[in-house]
Structures are given as C-alpha cells and as structure tokens.
A = this chain, B = another copy of it.
C-alpha cells in the first residue's frame, strides 16, 4: 500500500486550485478586487439590493465566510449596506460605482485565465474536463 501524489485526485485538485487562484489574483489585482470577492461580485452584478441570506443562497461558502468577505468589500468600497425596510435583522447589499465599473474587465480577466489555463487542451478535452468536474462535484455534494 502506498500513495502517489501524481495520481491522487485530491492532491492534483489542490494544486490546480492554487494555481488558478494565483493567476486570477494577478489579473484582477489592478482592478482593486481579490479572488474571494469574485463570486460575491458575480452574484451582485446579476442582482443587488439583496439580503446577505439571499446572496448566500447563490454562493457556495459558509455564512461566516460571506459575512467576513462583505466586511472587507465594504472596507474596499465595493459594496454599501442599508437597513432592510421591513426586517430589522437584515440588510440590503448594494454595489458601488467602483464595483460596477470593474465588471467588464473582471469578466475578461476570469475568461482569460480560464482560457490560458486550458489552452493546452483540445476543444473536446476542455468540454470533457468541465463535464467531469461537474460530475465529481455533484457526486461529492450528495455524499
């Protein structure tokens, strides 16, 4: 019995995730945003004015992680929060102009990173790679 890193899905995925994160970081740093803010921005670019809970439903992180990310995003001038009109516990989260301004460049960056990373694959391989990842994610979520 042994364990070979080069054939361990978990090991490889960890490597990949860090390589992607680093690459994206380099691309979006000039925009004044960081990787952890990306999924939040994606959701809010779709629709803002939502509560933290509604936002959470669209993002695959724990509530505490999102809460902390929002604190940093507010600090960085990416979102503003207002009291919810009817629920005193809740808040509404709004994008600032700064966050709206970087939207297109952020999309471009993310697409570029994905494209460069997968440039070594054929079209078929790329599609298959995505498909396999989705399959495994689904499987692991069900476990």
Contacts and interface: CB of A to CB of B under 8 A. Distances in A.
Interface of A: 1-3, 5-21, 23-24, 39, 42, 60, 104, 107-108, 110-111, 113-114, 116-121, 125, 128-130, 132-141, 143
Q: How often does this chain occur in the complex, in copies?
A: 2
Question: Which label, helix, strand, loop or mixed, suits the secondary structure of the A interface?
Answer: helix
A141 to B, nearest CB: 7
Nearest to A132: B129
B12 A130 contact: yes
A39 B23 contact: no
A45 to B, nearest CB: 9
Contacts of A1: 104, 107-108, 111
Contacts of A132: 121, 125, 128-129, 132
Given A1-B107, A128-B132, A136-B120, A114 B17 contact: no
Nearest to A1: B107
Contacts of A2: 107
